[in-house]
């Protein structure tokens, strides 16, 4: 009965666009745990016992939060289901690390070094340099870029097919980026004519894997001397794009709002709150906000 309730709940939420891969696995695990105890209704003690099996404080809090959300859903129709208490294992929130923001010159160094890599494959230096350049100038997620097919490159920009949150969106390209992609496509078709239709492939035609790209990225960071201190990651290119776009935001409350909402859609964020995070995550943007607030207060006083 409880497992059936889990499947019904997951089907309902997935029908409106949620993937719920991790949450679904957790709820199925909880249902098996409860049913092994002979229970068909949510019991706070069982929920806490199951959540306590998590490997860390964050995991335990997350597991309990998943059950609490599910319990609220069931309790609305059947009050025999009891809602577990909040906060038994602390907060489910995880502090996000401060993003690494590349200087413009560093991105140029990264792309140039990628194009000079001796990989034993004639196409890979072009694939890596084009991939890193694309991530830097569009803010695409790495997974989105690696899933691109040749037909996704259009005269209007890049079509990102059903990425995170099942969104499909058009990402416009600057003319210089469009020209670089077209040049890469010519080389790709010349060096790997029998390749699959993935955009980024090796000369043997195999699509680039995330693990290989991440390893190559870290190798290049060492070559250009950026491997000391706080380490950049592939996602730092997306972070850098978002921060630079917010720094270019025009003055004026209405214009700022429109600019931020447009950027949120461009990045494929689920909601604009994910875009606002960049405002508080970088010192330079926080300084801009502080100065704007100071000006507002002084203007109000005068």
* 5 contacts: CB under 8 Å, gap ≥ 6: 31, 74
Task: Determine whether 209 is an active site residue.
Answer: no
Q: Which of 206, 235, 244, 259 is catalytic?
A: 235
Say how many C-beta atoms besides its own lie within 10 A of residue 212's C-beta.
Answer: 14
Q: Which of 62, 92, 180, 269 is catalytic?
A: 269
Catalytic residue among 32, 164, 209, 230: 164
Residue with tokens 């019904």: 8
Q: Are 34 and 43 in contact (CB under 8 A)?
A: yes
**Residue 138: closest CA among 213, 242, 214, 220:** 242
The active-site residue out of 60, 81, 238, 239 is 238
Of the residues 63, 81, 92, 141, only one is catalytic, namely 141
278 is an active site residue: yes
Phi, psi of 236 (to 5 degrees): -65, -25
Is 238 one of the catalytic residues? yes
For this structure, is 14 an active site residue? no
The catalytic residue among 9, 100, 126, 278 is 278
Angle 107-110-112 (CA atoms, 0-180°, nearest 5)?
A: 110
158 close to 108: Cβ distance less than 8 angstroms: no
Q: How far is CA 33 from CA 50, 51, 59, 216, 298, in A?
A: 7, 10, 17, 43, 60
* Number of DSSP helices (H) and strands (E) in the chain, helices first: 13, 3
Active site residue 180: no
- DSSP, res 152: G
Q: What residues act catalytically?
A: 141, 164, 235, 238, 269, 278
């Amino acid at each position: 009965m409880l497992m059936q309730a889990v499947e019904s709940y997951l089907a309902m939420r997935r029908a409106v666009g949620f993937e719920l891969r991790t949450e679904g696995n957790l709820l199925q695990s909880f249902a098996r745990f409860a049913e092994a105890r002979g229970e068909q209704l949510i019991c706070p003690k069982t929920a806490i016992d199951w959540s306590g099996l998590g490997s860390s404080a964050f995991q335990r809090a997350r597991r309990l939060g998943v059950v609490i959300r599910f319990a609220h859903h069931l309790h609305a129709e059947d009050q025999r289901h009891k809602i577990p208490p909040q906060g038994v294992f602390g907060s489910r929130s995880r502090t996000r690390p401060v993003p690494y923001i590349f200087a413009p010159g560093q991105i140029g160094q990264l792309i140039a070094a990628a194009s000079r890599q001796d990989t034993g494959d004639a196409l890979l230096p072009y694939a890596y340099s084009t991939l890193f350049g694309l991530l830097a100038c569009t803010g695409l997620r790495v997974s989105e870029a690696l899933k691109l097919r040749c037909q996704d490159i259009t005269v209007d920009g890049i079509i990102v097919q059903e990425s995170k949150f099942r969104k499909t969106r058009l990402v416009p390209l600057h003319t210089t980026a469009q020209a670089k992609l077209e040049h890469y496509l010519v080389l790709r078709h010349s060096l790997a004519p029998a390749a699959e239709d993935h955009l980024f492939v090796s000369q043997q035609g195999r699509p680039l894997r995330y693990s290989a790209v991440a390893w190559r990225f870290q190798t290049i960071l060492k070559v250009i001397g950026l491997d000391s201190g706080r380490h950049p990651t592939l996602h730092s290119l997306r972070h850098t794009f978002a921060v630079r776009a917010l720094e270019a935001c025009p003055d004026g409350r209405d214009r700022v709002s429109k600019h931020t909402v447009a950027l949120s859609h461009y990045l494929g964020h689920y909601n604009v709150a994910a875009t606002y995070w960049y405002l508080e995550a970088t010192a330079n943007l926080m300084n801009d906000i502080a100065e704007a607030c100071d000006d507002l207060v002084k203007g109000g006083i005068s």
